[in-house]
Structure 1
Amino acid sequence: MTLTPTTSVAQFAIGDEATARIAVDRLNESFDDGAAAVTAFEGAYGRWAISLHFADPPDQAMVRELVALAAGDDAAAAVAFETVAPQDWVKSSLDALAPVRAGRFVVHGQHDRDRVQPNQLGIEIEAALAFGTGHHGTTRGCLLLLDEVLHAYLPRRILDLGAGTGVLAIAAAKALRCRVLASDIDPQAVAVCRENARLNGVGNLVESVCAIGFGAPAFAARAPFDLVLANILANPLRQLAGPMAQHLAPSAMVVLSGLLPPQAQGVIAAYRARGLVLVRHQIVEGWSSLLLQRR
């Protein structure tokens, strides 16, 4: 067992699950360099407790400002700070998480290996800084759409854009037993993706590269893509519509997520202008996931 050093924690409560989920995602975006780990748990009377864990004592005024932007002034005023003694809190958090099932795919930790059935494809992901363990509506939405696509379509050139821990790339590689290109703008995420692919037995199939947009040589070498999986955010997805379309094969399928339902139409319009039509729009846990096809 590896214990964390002494950590600092900022905590506050918020009114309902939907608001808590939005606040957590906004805070994760604010600390996307791994400076904080954000968790949320349901408490008494339907309220949700949100905690931010810091390796080093944070700037409390800055934290309150970010909480105010994410959850409002009342939540910011109620933030309480404390110091936590060394403990393996990452493992404790994961032990409390049930496996995530999405079609044939099951995202799980090491402690749940034996819960994966023979007719399922297990994707084992352990905690690695703040890149996600698959317990999020956007990841589940993408996996559900990927499972749907693979029932009727067998892509051979696959890209996971903004791969993070590599959940989607690993899922595609396991299901198809073919090569998948996974990219992320964060070098640490690239390393985590590479290690997770090895852990899941597809290290020889998933190529993980550090790249912004579509500028890296690996994209030109592997394009045109039959399937692109991009679980990012609404604004980057809109900006990437043009470059992505240039790297797609005819009839290519594209799975997009990381956007709230009100943002979906703007993203759909950006891709429609590049010749992609909407096949399915699904909402999972308050987050939109889109399946589009090039026509």
Structure 2
Amino acid sequence: MSADAGGAIDSWKVSLPCTRAEAEAIDAGLIDIDAVLMTSEEVEDDRERWRLDAYLERAPDAAMLAAIRALVPSAADIEPVVEALGAQDWVTLSQQGLEPIREGRFVVHTSAHPVAPPPGGRAFLIDAGRAFGTGHHATTSGCLAMLDALAGQHFANVIDIGTGTGLLAFAAAHLWPDAAVTATDIDPAAIAVTAENAAANSIAGLKLIVADGTLDDAIVAAAPYDLVIANILAGPLMSMAPELAAIAAADATILLAGLLETQRAELVAAFEACGCTLEAADRRGDWTILRLKAGATRFVPATPPDPKGRDGWALDI
């Protein structure tokens, strides 16, 4: 793309409202459209208030507008907002949120912003793409900080539920190289991305499973886990509290994220009902990351877990 010194139009943006489900479908799929697609929350933790922005190198014609509208059926009756952008506008927008993040011994970067690891630490290459968890959301970076703080402890069996890009599982594998580390996600595309990221970061030995929560025979067979990580959303975490507690070993550490501070008390109560106790909390803006300790004896749920009432639980982070 190019623009002359007088500020000629260099690119275009088409914007439409969408739901989170539509945003996830866009982000998780290989969309055959000649545009760069970006989705974002307009209202935190509101599944219906998201936005799609499509960036193009030329003015959109009727066919392109129709193709973009087809991605977000909920906006079928809404006229898209079409904006002309200059070169500097495009460069700035396309680089937003891509700078490396640092949490303790970890640094997370994209291909566009390579960086060396800190002394004694580890750098992870995680490009934004078809799955969630680049480290730039407060929930993921907060989980990295929580894991870094646990480095002096020993864990032998770790599970990361809702792994997204695999980042938290990679951090656990680095901290505890002798541990068995399992990464799961309800979305097959996320598991495919995790496998790609593991190869790019030379992470070997991860067990990858497509599963809804803990509802997989391989997950149950490998229990109990002495470290359980779940960076999802508050509603699903509350409904999954019995099953997460059930796969945890006695006195296991449980890291929970994806919840707003306003949801903390209700979520803690749900896990206290399963014998867990709150040990630490890290508030980052509106979001809170929790570290809990499982009970001294393994929790046995009164009824089997029922996935039917769950809300979608992949978090865009």
TM over 0.5: yes
Instruction: Provide the rounded CA distance (Å) in 1 between the counterparts of 2:159 and 2:293.
Output: 15
How many pairs were matched up? 252
Instruction: Provide the rounded CA distance (Å) in 1 between the counterparts of 2:189 and 2:276.
Output: 32
> Are 2:255 and 1:255 equivalent residues in the alignment?
yes
AA at the equivalent of 1:100: I
* Residue-by-residue CA offset, 1:72-112 (whole Å, 9 max, x unaligned): xxxx99x723599xxxx899835862211111111111344
Instruction: Provide the rounded CA distance (Å) in 2 between the counterparts of 1:208 and 1:263.
Output: 30
2:249 match: secondary structure: strand
Instruction: Please identify which structure carries the higher helix content.
Output: 1
1:271 match: secondary structure: helix
Residue 53 of structure 1: how far off its partner (Å): 3.1
* Residue-by-residue CA offset, 1:48-76 (whole Å, 9 max, x unaligned): xx7623894125783399xxxxxxxxxx9
Instruction: Provide the rounded CA distance (Å) in 1 between the counterparts of 2:197 and 2:137.
Output: 18
Aligned to 1:32: 24
Aligned to 1:21: none
* Residue-by-residue CA offset, 1:181-221 (whole Å, 9 max, x unaligned): 0000111001001111111111x221111101212122123
Taking a change above 3 Å as real, the CA distance of residues 93 and 222 of structure 1, as seen in their structure-2 partners, is: farther
**Counterpart pick for 2:69 among 58, 64, 70:** 58
Aligned to 1:205: 205
Structure 2, unpaired ranges of 5+: 1-10, 28-36, 42-50, 56-63, 296-317
Instruction: Provide the rounded CA distance (Å) in 1 between the counterparts of 2:97 and 2:185.
Output: 28
Alignment check: 8 A CA contact 1:256 1:289 kept: yes
TM (norm. structure 2) is 0.70
Alignment check: 8 A CA contact 2:130 2:189 kept: no
TM (norm. structure 1) is 0.75
Q: Percent of counterpart pairs with the same letter?
A: 35
Aligned to 1:101: 102
* Residue-by-residue CA offset, 1:230-256 (whole Å, 9 max, x unaligned): 100011100111011111111100100
Aligned to 1:80: 81
**Counterpart pick for 1:10 among 5, 11, 15:** 15
1:122 match: secondary structure: strand
Instruction: Provide the rounded CA distance (Å) in 1 between the counterparts of 2:189 and 2:95.
Output: 20
Instruction: Provide the rounded CA distance (Å) in 1 between the counterparts of 2:185 and 2:97.
Output: 28
1:1-295 pair list within 5 angstroms: 9-10=14-15, 28=20, 30-34=22-26, 37-39=38-40, 52-53=53-54, 56-58=67-69, 62-63=74-75, 80-81=81-82, 93=94, 97-151=98-152, 153-177=153-177, 178-202=179-203, 204-295=204-295
Instruction: Provide the rounded CA distance (Å) in 2 between the counterparts of 1:62 and 1:170.
Output: 36
Larger Rg: 2
Taking a change above 3 Å as real, the CA distance of residues 134 and 9 of structure 1, as seen in their structure-2 partners, is: farther
1:275 match: secondary structure: coil
Alignment check: 8 A CA contact 2:133 2:164 kept: yes
Taking a change above 3 Å as real, the CA distance of residues 160 and 272 of structure 1, as seen in their structure-2 partners, is: same
Structure 1, unpaired ranges of 5+: 1-5, 13-25, 41-49, 66-75
2:155 match: secondary structure: coil
Alignment check: 8 A CA contact 1:268 1:278 kept: yes
AA at the equivalent of 2:68: P
1:274 match: secondary structure: coil
Taking a change above 3 Å as real, the CA distance of residues 38 and 173 of structure 1, as seen in their structure-2 partners, is: same
Alignment check: 8 A CA contact 2:226 2:253 kept: yes
1:110 match: secondary structure: coil
AA at the equivalent of 1:212: D
Taking a change above 3 Å as real, the CA distance of residues 91 and 191 of structure 1, as seen in their structure-2 partners, is: farther
Taking a change above 3 Å as real, the CA distance of residues 64 and 281 of structure 1, as seen in their structure-2 partners, is: farther
Taking a change above 3 Å as real, the CA distance of residues 161 and 136 of structure 1, as seen in their structure-2 partners, is: same
Q: Report the more deviating stretch, 233-242 or 93-102.
A: 93-102
Alignment check: 8 A CA contact 1:161 1:183 kept: yes
* Residue-by-residue CA offset, 1:17-40 (whole Å, 9 max, x unaligned): xxxxxxxxx954552222563258
1:58 match: secondary structure: helix
Instruction: Provide the rounded CA distance (Å) in 2 between the counterparts of 1:7 and 1:130.
Output: 25
Instruction: Provide the rounded CA distance (Å) in 1 between the counterparts of 2:271 and 2:259.
Output: 14
AA at the equivalent of 1:197: A
